[in-house]
């Protein structure tokens, strides 16, 4: 996998960009599906802008691509425990931004709301997007 470095106009720093490998299909497609562009450094600075400065894609598209790609170690994602509306399991979900979390078990992007309780614990509630 080739990784390019580009300067992101939003965060004013070098970011690493790659393209995911082309998926292998056993179907009868005449043209291969292209890989997907993924920013390996998607993070806090990206949350202040609706679109990725490099690809022009909506911020959430880049967040979901990075989460699904598995190219960022799980230890780098902030997680929350909640019930996934895709698979129904109470599981750890990777927080994509203030409104969305990614179920690592089934790959569903869940809309989320976090409620702080009086004892400083949190409850996460999610809905499928």
Band the pLDDT of 25: cuts 50, 70, 90.
low
pTM of full prediction above 0.75: no
The whole-number pLDDT of residue 28 equals: 58
CA 112, CA 87: separation in Å to the nearest integer?
A: 15
Q: What residue ranges do the domains of the chain occupy? A: 1-72, 73-129
- Bridge partners (DSSP) of residue 126 are 112
Q: Output the average pLDDT for the chain.
A: 81
For residue 85, give the nearest of 125, 122, 30 by alpha carbon: 125
Taking the CA of residue 121 as centre, how many other CA atoms within 13 Å lie in the half-sphere pointing to its CB? 3
pLDDT tens digit string along 29-80? 555 567 788 888 888 778 778 888 888 889 888 888 888 888 877 667 888 8
């Amino acid at each position: 996998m080739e990784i390019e470095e580009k300067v992101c106009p939003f965060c004013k720093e070098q970011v690493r960009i790659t393209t995911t490998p082309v998926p292998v299909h056993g179907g009868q497609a005449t043209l291969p599906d292209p890989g997907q562009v993924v920013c390996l450094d998607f993070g806090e600075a990206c949350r202040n802008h609706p679109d990725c400065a490099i690809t022009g894609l909506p911020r959430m598209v880049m967040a979901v691509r990075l989460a699904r790609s598995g190219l960022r170690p799980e230890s780098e994602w902030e997680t929350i425990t909640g019930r996934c509306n895709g698979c129904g399991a109470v599981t750890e979900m990777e927080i994509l931004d203030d409104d969305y979390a990614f179920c690592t078990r089934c790959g569903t992007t869940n809309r989320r709301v976090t409620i702080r309780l009086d004892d400083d614990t949190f409850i996460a509630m999610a809905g499928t997007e």
